[in-house]
Chains A and B, each alone.
Chain A
Amino acid sequence: MITAVLQFAQVGAGATLIQTLVKALALGSVYVLIALGFVIIFKATQVLNFAAGALSMAGAMFMTILISDGGFPLLPFANPLAPAEGETAGIVLFFVHVLIALALAAILGLVIERVAIRPMVGQPLFAMAVITLGIEIAIRPFNLDATALEGRQLGVPWGANSWDWGGAVVPKSYLVAVIVAAIAGVSVLFFFRTKLGVAMRAVAFDQEAAMAQGINVGRVFAIAWAMGTALAALGAIVYGMAPFPPGGSVSQEIHPLLALRVLPVIVLGGLDSVAGAIYGGLIIATAEVFAGQYLSQWNSTLGSGYSTIVPYLVMLFMLLVKPYGLFGTPEIRRV
């Protein structure tokens, strides 16, 4: 087993390609998770959730608080499941904590929906979008105060360990990211075929007509926000596993901006398309990672962070060619 600090220069061309592919797939998985969060909320409420950044980070914070601190501050009881001081949780225990953190994130989403979004039902969508922007700003200080500068450990059981696939270094976290995203993607696809999922799409299309069918619009909104927040939080948790950030932590530097990086993904895929979120995430991540890997000899010309602008270039091109995105629903109109 090799400790993972990826050093591409020392491996062969084939191994480099595999490493780059896996890295693209893993980053794509993170994008897919967060994009699904956007898509669910947009599909139900027609609102682009600008609070996704702060909400997803809050979800990841819940995770670190549960597993590294062993309980929330100000609460009288500790987390009975937390691993002992200085130890790392086992794999099962880790995922149990992930589920608890997601549940907490979902509750946060429910509260926000009830307090800030529900009273706005029937009001202009623009007003709702701006409210989500306000929520982002209101939650951000809690995240930042809690992280402090050095970031918070996520306590991943497999740490930064990786496999050696014929010379290519494949971190275990990357595989976990792909599996988690695959499960989430399939579940969401399936969800939109269920009674509630179809109702959610109906609400997005015509709220009043949906109400006339007996669909409880408020409940649909609540479920969408709970699911959307939990999915975004899952993306942020996965992105806290080493070696996404070296060392594996939830940090002030990368997490608040993570949702912003997903914006090109949902624009590329189409705001209201699950398939679009999945393809968009993978395409954007591939473009970003491959550009970072194979254009690196021009670092001096392009600047060191050039790969982060690649997604936006793809988005720009996409908007020019297909304004609804790859899989977005164009307005349906008979001719």
Chain B
Amino acid sequence: MLEVANLEVVYNEVILVLRGLSLQVPDGQIVALLGSNGAGKTTTARAITGLLDVHEGKSTKGSVTWNGTEITEHLPAKIVEGGISQVMEGRRIFGELTVDENLSCGAFTNRANMDANYDRVMDLFPRLKERNTQVAGYLSGGEQQMLAIGRALMADPKLLILDEPSLGLAPMLIEQIRDIIVDINKQGVSVLLIEQNAMMALSIADFGYVMESGKVVMDGPAQKLLNDEDVQEFYLGLHGDGGERKSFRDVKHYKRRKRWLS
């Protein structure tokens, strides 16, 4: 189980991005993390996987705990070894390497079970099997996303963090990726699904969090969030009766403080 408690993250020693974020990913569940641009979703993923350093970020308060061990200060390699893998936003596959070489990089920390993991990835993504010797940069967007997920699975993670897997994909491909996420979850991998596509995320998640300005402003079982008026209005784009657009402020019942500074 992953537990993030009161996490605060500062970039460049001045920009406070996460302001006391708390969330939990219980074993075997899919948890959705929703929020608009700049809410701090990607920063949350970085903080969990130890990639803040690269971006001059630091966690100043709070903790990330994985199965009882605090991993806030661990190096990325150690976190991957511990069983948390991330599929980064924008896929970030190694474009100059072949598909197989990309997968081999994913298995860097888990060489022993490489063959078994490779077969598993190929079962999940038959498309990759057809193109395994091709240079990854020439794959289509959907195939690249499959490769990115497959690469993360090569480390045989217990928790998979997916950052915007639907980004830039056609609706049909989004559905395909969604089904694959469910399949992966059925194989016993917990999933933290970071998404802007709330409909897709909540349709498969067990639990959901809604983030805004570095904090969780709403959480609950996915079904409850789906039926929530505010979520429907602002993340699902459904307008109730009349279809008339409402002011953001009128609808949100949760805290929106106005201040001159910050």
Binding site for B on A (CB under 8 A): 122, 195, 198-199, 201-202, 205-216, 329, 332-334
Contact = CB atoms under 8 A, between A and B. Distances in A.
Contacts of A334: 137-138, 140
Contacts of B152: 213
Interface string B112-153: 000000000000000000000001011010000000000110
A214 B54 contact: no
Nearest to B56: A122
Interface in B66-94: 75-77, 79-81, 85-86, 88, 92-94
Contacts of A198: 97, 101, 104-105
A332 B137 CA distance: 6
B108 A214 contact: yes
Interface of A is mostly: helix
Nearest to A122: B54
B106 A213 contact: yes
Specify which of A205, A213, A333 lies most central, judged by the most chain B CB atoms within 10 Å of its CB: A213
Contacts of A211: 50-51, 54, 76-77
Interface residues of B, number: 34
B137 A208 contact: no
B54 A195 contact: no
B97 A214 contact: no
16 contacts: A198-B104, A201-B94, A201-B96, A205-B95, A205-B97, A208-B88, A209-B92, A209-B93, A210-B94, A211-B54, A213-B155, A214-B77, A214-B155, A216-B77, A334-B137, A334-B140
Contacts of B49: 212
A262 to B, nearest CB: 24
A216 B51 CA distance: 12
B109 interface: yes
B111 interface: yes
Contacts of A329: 96
A213 B151 contact: yes
Contact of A195 (B76, B81, B111): B111
Interface of B: 49-51, 54, 75-77, 79-81, 85-86, 88, 92-97, 101-102, 104-106, 108-109, 111, 135, 137-138, 140, 151-152, 155
A201 B80 contact: no
Given A198-B97, A205-B97, A334-B138, A210 B105 contact: yes
B138 A332 contact: yes
Contact of B76 (A122, A201, A214): A214
A202 B85 CA distance: 17
A133 to B, nearest CB: 25
A213 B80 contact: yes
Nearest to B135: A332
Contact of A215 (B51, B86, B105, B138): B105
B54 A208 contact: yes
Contacts of B94: 201-202, 205-206, 209-210
A195 B54 CA distance: 24
Contacts of B80: 212-214
Contacts of A207: 54
B188 to A, nearest CB: 20
A213 B107 CA distance: 8
A46 B79 CA distance: 26
B157 to A, nearest CB: 10
A215 B102 CA distance: 12
Nearest to A194: B104
A332 B102 CA distance: 15
A213 B80 CA distance: 7
Contacts of A205: 94-97
Contacts of B101: 198, 201-202
A209 B148 CA distance: 10
A214 B96 contact: no
B81 A214 contact: yes
Nearest to B50: A211
A211 B95 CA distance: 16
Contacts of B111: 195
B54 to A, nearest CB: 5
Contacts of B155: 213-214
A214 B75 CA distance: 9
Interface centre among A202, A212, A213, A214, by most B CB within 10 Å?
A: A212
B137 A199 contact: no
A213 B96 contact: no
A322 to B, nearest CB: 17
